[in-house]
Amino acid sequence: MNLKEAAIGDTVKVVKLHGEGAVRRRIMDMGITKGVELKVQKVAPLGDPIEVTVRGYELSLRKADAENIEVTERTDK
C-alpha cells in the first residue's frame, strides 16, 4: 500500500521509499524515512495535495510523491 491509498485519519508507518534522485531526496528532506509514522490529516478533493503530520510537523505532499512512499497500517492504534 502507498501513502496515496491511506484514508484520512489513518496513522501509517513508512516501510520503503521508492523513486530515485531528486524525488527521493525531496521526500527524505521532509523527514520522511523508513520507520517513521505519518498521520493523514487531509486530502484535497482531487487528491493533490495530501496533508500529513510527521514528527510533529504538518506537511503537504504531492500526489506523485505520496505514490513513492510505501506504508503499512499501524497495528497498535
Segments making up each domain of the chain, as ranges: 3-73
Separation CA 29–CA 13 (nearest Å): 17
pLDDT digits (tens, 9 = 90+) for 40-51: 999 888 778 999
Query: Which fold does the domain 3-73 belong to in CATH?
Result: SH3 type barrels. (2.30.30)
Mean of pLDDT over the chain = 88
Q: Is the whole model's pTM more than 0.85, yes or no?
A: no
Average pLDDT estimate for 16-29 = 88
* Per-residue pLDDT at 11: 92
Closest by CA to 49, choosing from 6, 4, 15, 11, is: 4
